[in-house]
Amino acid sequence: MDGQNSEDPKQSTADMTAFVQNLLQQMQARFQTMSDSIVTKIDEMGNRINELEQSINDLRAEMGAEGSPSPLPPSKKPDEEEEEEGSA
């Protein structure tokens, strides 16, 4: 340790400053990469949700055009819930 103390304090400070700056730059680059990745995935999810909504709307339009009664499925759900509650 005495060998390190014999170094010029200004050089030691400069080395430490350079090390910290390099470390901070690496961290910033990694966070930027992660941030870009997250934003890209959020955009992809948004696109998938939009496609899903369009598919649902298309299916609803097809069902309406075929004359399928829309009140029938909601009336089944409460019955199914009652059956599940009764069996529990």
Is residue 13 included in any domain, yes or no?
no
Asked, for residue 4, whether it belongs to a domain, the answer is no
- Structural domain count of the chain: 1
Whether 11 is in a domain gets the answer: no
Are 70 and 63 in contact by the 8 Å Cβ rule? The answer is yes
Residue 5's alpha-carbon distances to 2, 10, 11, 17, in angstroms, are 5, 12, 11, 17
Distance from CA of residue 76 to its chain's centroid?
35
Residue 9 is assigned to a structural domain of this protein: no
pTM above the 0.85 mark?
Answer: no
Query: Residue 34 half-sphere exposure, CB side, CA atoms within 13 Å?
Result: 6
pLDDT at 69 over 70: no
What percent of the chain stands above pLDDT 90? 58
- Domain holding 81, by residue range, is 18-87
Q: State the average pLDDT for the chain.
A: 80
